[in-house]
């Protein structure tokens, strides 16, 4: 009987079970990781930080430059140490969550596990029980932060566990671009990263959350993110996976609660052999005339990718579009695109598209006829495929290079 590459998806009674979770992809033996490291209560300032050259480069490759003094604010969790900088403008707070909970007792009642359900799964329960490490960022009413704030979560110890809880609050009319880089540096192989992130976007506020991941080959990563957006608020989520971990599952959830609220998810992912990436997004629209767009792009070099987008229209005048596309650059591997729409109101206007394919050889030949070599042509096409309009102005040159390498890697992948 011929063998069929199914990427490990199980087959029963001649039918593929269209659920990678059931196929065991999400089953992880957590016991192989060491206990969650305790983070000290006292935090240091960024000025006291003394990083090695490789570590600085690793952070820059995920978009974070902690030595850039023009930034409005900076925050780093480096293993078990926390470093912060005093925000350079009034109306912005960046403090470790532990300190924030002591300083502002109302945070617990208003924000702590108020967007993410602490009983959602094993990961959220662990985050609730074990630790309160992470950042609390608040931008006060009508304060516009026009230079990004950089935050980084740096795992530097082999086989360690980092458990993070972040809360971001934008009050009415506030604006913020937050760049968060998560990395295990360039030498680590194994670890577990758990992160709960809760975002609260107030009336007329705008939060752009750019997340960049660069992980070791045997990491397990479980981000749990939820965002609540009030009237006229905007949430933009940009996600780049420069180098995927062995196993990641994330399905960020956004609730467009207010009238005219909007959300946009843009996801760019490179999948490598022996990795599983379940990168999705769910947006619930209960605010009148709210709108959501979800755009996901994956290039697959032999791993398994599950792109699941679900938009739920449950109010008058909502509009939504989901677009999941994949490029297969290897004869191995699986991409499964599941763009989902759920209309719960007759006025909902919703659409979706999905396309998976290989590189068009006609396009490669055409670019070669203009003078590019085959690998250059493939890289350029992949770069075009991944260009979904993420605003890259202000990105570190190292990050831009890392993003470019996703497509250059693709060129080599054809060899």
Strands of 23-112, DSSP E:
44-45, 74-78, 81-84, 92-96
> Where do we find the tokens 């695109």?
337
Q: How far is the CB of 302 from other proteins (least distance, A)?
A: 23
Q: Distance (Å, rounded) from C-alpha 25 to C-alpha 278? A: 9
Q: How far is the CB of 378 from other proteins (least distance, A)?
A: 11
CB 145 within 8 A of CB 178: no
CB 379 within 8 A of CB 407: yes
Residue count of the chain: 415
Q: How far is the CB of 300 from other proteins (least distance, A)?
A: 17
Q: Distance (Å, rounded) from C-alpha 271 to C-alpha 345? A: 37
Q: How far is the CB of 415 from other proteins (least distance, A)?
A: 15
Closest CA to 246 of 223, 273, 267: 273
Quick one: 50 or 369, whose CB is closer to other proteins? 369
Q: How far is the CB of 404 from other proteins (least distance, A)?
A: 11
DSSP SS3 for 230: coil
Taking each continuous run of H as one helix and of E as one strand, the counts in the chain are: 7, 23
Q: How far is the CB of 372 from other proteins (least distance, A)?
A: 6
Q: How far is the CB of 394 from other proteins (least distance, A)?
A: 20
Q: Distance (Å, rounded) from C-alpha 117 to C-alpha 125? A: 9
Q: How far is the CB of 369 from other proteins (least distance, A)?
A: 5
**Helix pair angle (361-369, 374-386), 10° resolution:** 120
Quick one: 159 or 365, whose CB is closer to other proteins? 365
Q: How far is the CB of 48 from other proteins (least distance, A)?
A: 42
Q: Distance (Å, rounded) from C-alpha 380 to C-alpha 383? A: 5
CB 264 within 8 A of CB 239: no
Q: Distance (Å, rounded) from C-alpha 30 to C-alpha 22? A: 18
Residue ranges binding other proteins (CB under 8 A): 360-363, 365-374, 376, 380-381, 383-387
DSSP SS3 for 237: strand
Quick one: 284 or 381, whose CB is closer to other proteins? 381
- Alpha-carbon distances, residue 408 vs 78, 200, 377 (angstroms): 30, 37, 10
Quick one: 67 or 366, whose CB is closer to other proteins? 366
> Where do we find the tokens 């998806």?
9
| DSSP-assigned beta bridge partners for residue 326 | 298, 356
């Amino acid at each position: 009987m011929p063998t069929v590459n199914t990427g490990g998806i199980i087959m029963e009674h001649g039918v593929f079970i269209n659920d990678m979770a059931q196929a065991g992809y999400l089953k992880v033996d957590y016991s192989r990781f060491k206990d969650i490291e305790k983070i000290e209560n006292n935090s240091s300032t960024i000025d006291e930080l003394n990083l090695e050259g490789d570590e600085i480069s690793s952070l820059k490759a995920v978009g974070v430059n902690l030595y850039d003094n023009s930034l409005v604010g900076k925050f780093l969790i480096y293993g078990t140490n926390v470093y912060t900088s005093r925000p350079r403008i009034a109306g912005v707070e960046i403090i470790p969550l532990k300190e924030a909970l002591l300083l502002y007792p109302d945070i617990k009642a208003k924000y702590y596990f108020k967007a993410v359900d602490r009983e959602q799964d094993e990961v959220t329960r662990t985050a609730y029980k074990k630790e309160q490490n992470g950042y609390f960022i608040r931008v006060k009413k009508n304060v516009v932060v026009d230079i990004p704030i950089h935050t980084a979560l740096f795992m530097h110890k082999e086989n360690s566990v980092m458990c993070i809880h972040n809360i971001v609050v934008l009050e009415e009319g506030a604006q913020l671009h937050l760049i968060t880089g998560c990395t295990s540096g360039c030498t680590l192989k194994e670890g577990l990263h758990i992160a709960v992130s809760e975002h609260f976007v107030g009336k007329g506020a705008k939060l752009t959350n750019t997340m960049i991941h660069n992980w070791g080959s045997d990491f397990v990563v479980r981000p749990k993110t939820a965002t609540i957006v009030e009237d006229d608020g905007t949430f933009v989520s940009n996600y780049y996976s420069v180098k995927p971990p062995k196993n990641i599952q994330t399905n960020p959830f956004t609730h467009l609660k207010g009238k005219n609220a909007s959300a946009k998810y843009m996801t760019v992912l490179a999948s490598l052999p022996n990795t599983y990436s379940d990168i999705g997004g769910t947006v619930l629209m209960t605010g009148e005339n709210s709108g959501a767009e979800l755009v996901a792009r994956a290039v697959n070099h032999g791993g398994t990718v599950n792109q699941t987008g679900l938009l739920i229209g449950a109010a008058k005048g909502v509009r939504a579009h989901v677009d999941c596309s994949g490029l297969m650059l290897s004869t191995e591997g699986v991409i499964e695109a599941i763009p989902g729409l759920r209309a719960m109101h007759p006025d909902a206007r919703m659409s979706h598209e999905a396309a998976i394919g290989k590189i068009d050889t006609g396009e490669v030949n055409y670019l070669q006829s203009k003078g590019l070599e085959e690998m250059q042509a493939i890289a350029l096409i992949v770069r075009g495929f991944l260009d979904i309009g993420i605003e890259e102005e202000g990105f570190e040159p190292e990050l831009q290079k890392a993003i470019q390498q996703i497509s250059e890697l693709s060129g080599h992948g054809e060899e």
